[in-house]
Amino acid sequence: MTRAAQELLQDMLELPEGDRLDIVAEVLARLDGPADPDWEAAWLAELDRRDASEPAEPSADEEWPAVRARILKS
């Protein structure tokens, strides 16, 4: 890593977490190239399909302490 890159990294690490995440997301997005709107639409359709195919599970909203207690009771 060049000295300039090391200095940039050090400066970034001093930023608040939210700013660091925004920068990383932007860098990764640019590495992938331009967004493909067809892919995004296909992925959203797939997410909708998966969501619709899953049976409603009332316990999915159950809090962890209740789940843990039930497991330990078994």
Alpha helices in the chain (DSSP H): 3-13, 17-32, 37-53, 64-73
Q: What is the C-alpha separation between 64 and 51, in angstroms, rounded? A: 22
pLDDT value for 66: 87
pTM strictly above 0.85 = no
pLDDT value for 34: 79
Task: Supply angle C-alpha 67, 53, 35, rounded to 5.
Answer: 100
pLDDT value for 36: 84
Question: How many Cα atoms occupy the beta-carbon half-sphere of 41 within 13 Å?
Answer: 3
pLDDT, tens digit, for every residue of 10-67?
999 999 999 999 999 999 888 877 778 899 899 999 999 988 877 666 566 778 898 8
**Which residue shows structure tokens 């789940």?**
67
The ranges assigned to domains in the chain are 1-46
